[in-house]
Amino acid sequence: MARVSLTSAVARGVFLLIALVVPLLVAPAGAVARPGDAGSYLKSMKRTSGDLWTMTVHSAAMGQDIPLQVLRPSANRAGAPTLYLLNGAGGGEDKANWLRQTDALRFFGDKFVNVVIPQKGIGSYYTDWISRDPAIGRPMWQTFLTRELPPILDRALNTNGRRAIAGLSMSATSVLQLAISSPGLYRSVASYSGCARTSTPEGQAAVRGIVFSASQANADNMWGPVASPVWTHRDPYLNAEKLRGTTLYLSSGSGLAGRYDTVDSQAPGAPPLIDQVTVGGAIEAATRSCTVNLAEKLRALRIPATVHLPTTGTHSWGYWQDELHRSWPTVARGLRS
3-state secondary structure 211-246: HHHHHCCCCHHHHCCCCCHHHHHCCCCCCHHHHCCC
**Which amino acid appears at position 43 of this protein?**
K
Could you read off the pLDDT tens digit of each residue along the chain, which spans 337 residues? 333 333 343 344 444 444 444 443 433 333 343 445 569 999 999 999 999 999 999 999 999 999 999 999 988 789 999 999 999 999 999 888 999 999 999 999 999 999 999 999 999 999 999 999 999 999 999 999 999 999 999 999 999 999 999 999 999 999 999 999 999 999 999 999 999 999 999 999 999 999 999 999 999 999 999 999 999 999 999 999 999 999 999 999 999 999 999 988 877 777 899 999 999 999 999 999 999 999 999 999 999 999 999 999 999 999 999 999 999 999 999 999 8
**Which amino acid appears at position 290 of this protein?**
C
Residue-range domain boundaries for the chain: 8-336
φ and ψ at 163, to 5 degrees? Answer: -135, 150
Q: Note the CATH number of domain 8-336.
A: 3.40.50.1820
Please give the model's pTM, rounded to 2 decimal places.
0.89
